[in-house]
Amino acid sequence: MSKALRYLSKTRPEAAGNLMGFYKHSVKALDEKTRFLIQIVTKVTVGTERGLRQYAPKALKAGASKEEILDAAMMAFPAAGLNKLLDAIEVLKDLDLLPEIEEDEPQAVSPELGAISQFPLKRMHCLQRPDGDLIVFRTGEKSVEVYSARCPHSKATLCKGTDHGDRVECHVHNWVFDLESGRCLSPSDMGGKRDLVNIPVTVVEGMVRLQG
């Protein structure tokens, strides 16, 4: 159950109960896989990344193939339009729920991230790179922390998250991360298992560079 539904079930138990009952009892004839595939169509149409991340893995678990998941997303196109469809494809790709394609030869990517002076002090800075987005957090005149921008929860990009200065809040399920340490602050009971992935860097002559 989502946080929002849990909240409603406490503050408006009757309304939430009826809502849950509706979901539980309204569909009788469709099997689980079909229901989840239809959920994908509706989530793409409405443009909810949170919903797509919730239901697409369930469709796979219920027996849908990656081709069927792609078909479901494509079926939303007439109502959703191109932008929502492309956003959905990005999310499904992130979740590794799309059929494999032959990737182009990977291009050599520079290990240089840029001059340290270009990164604001104690503020989140997103760097979009072909090998994956990074968050750069400058901690001092000559020190930075660099993290993968993929949310450890469900891989959404934290570059779309809310910048709270020294913290970032994921836009999908609202997990919060401290950018000084990379620790997951909320939910607080993860015991370090859901911290940001730290990327080792060096700062030489004012340039931030990936190690290795």
Residue numbers at the binding site for ligand FES (CB under 6 A): 151, 153-154, 156, 170, 172-173, 175
Residue 97 C-beta: closest distance to ligand FES, Å: 14
Interior/surface letters 23-57, b for 16+ CB within 10 angstroms, e for the rest: eeeeeeeeeebbebbbbbbbbbbebbbbbbbbbbb
Q: How far from 75 is each of 32, 44, 89, 210, CA to CA, in Å? A: 18, 9, 12, 42
- C-beta closer to ligand FES: residue 62 or 176: 176
Whether 115 contacts 207, CB under 8 Å: yes
Comparison of 60 and 172: residue with beta carbon closer to ligand FES = 172
The residue among 80 and 158 lying less far from ligand FES, judged by its C-beta, is 158
| 198 token code pair | 């730290």
- Separation of alpha carbons 181 and 167, rounded Å: 10
CB of 167 to ligand FES, least distance (A): 13
**CB closer to ligand FES, 39 vs 154:** 154
Closest approach, Cβ 124 to ligand FES, in A, equals 15
E strand intervals along 66-133: 112-115, 124-127
Compute the least distance from the CB of residue 180 to ligand FES, in Å.
Answer: 19
